[in-house]
A and B are shown apart, each in its own frame.
Chain A
């Protein structure tokens, strides 16, 4: 996750559809959710650019969801911050 470039990159199965759910913090009380759907390439990598929607900032929550034959896999992390 790169909060300067407003990008989120990852890797999973090749040629799979992944959903990336981002909870963006506008303040301590207000958050806004954004959902992106991406298809991975032959190398399994995906990349999301949020810059046209919002400024990715520290402690935004990112959840990547993968549906594999009815089983859901999830990875959650926070955008780097201090």
Chain B
């Protein structure tokens, strides 16, 4: 998890599943300019990953409690189309081979883009999707085009 906190403040991050059972609780300090990067681990040392429905609670702001959205990300080299799902009614940014596409998701968090006018999507191209919560927090998912 990467983020920003007020300079000099310690950061606590708590990751739970959708039933609020703890998956990981970690602490750290910003490295420079208030920026931090923390790896999430379980108590027995295994890596913990945020999945759909999980909650992330941060100490850096009182409203920093975000639920990971139901998500999807598919890109087709055949049709040059990308379909995705993340936060409802949210600004999104899609990056494919350094080309950026912007827009807003619908009420279900979905969108579909035809990229054919701007690029030819190839199999294996990395698709990076960023969606913004109303708090400004950002969710990211990466996948490859098929």
Contact = CB atoms under 8 A, between A and B. Distances in A.
Contact of B91 (A27, A59, A77, A78): A27
Interface stretch (A1-9, A13-21, A37-45): A1-9
B5 A80 contact: yes
Contacts of B2: 82
Interface in A48-82: 57-60, 76-82
Main secondary structure of the interface of A (DSSP, over half): loop
A81 B102 contact: no
A11 to B, nearest CB: 13
Given A28-B92, A29-B102, A59-B4, A79 B136 contact: yes
6 contacts: A4-B61, A28-B92, A29-B93, A58-B137, A58-B138, A77-B4
Given A58-B138, A82-B13, 4 more contacts: A3-B63, A80-B6, A81-B137, A82-B58
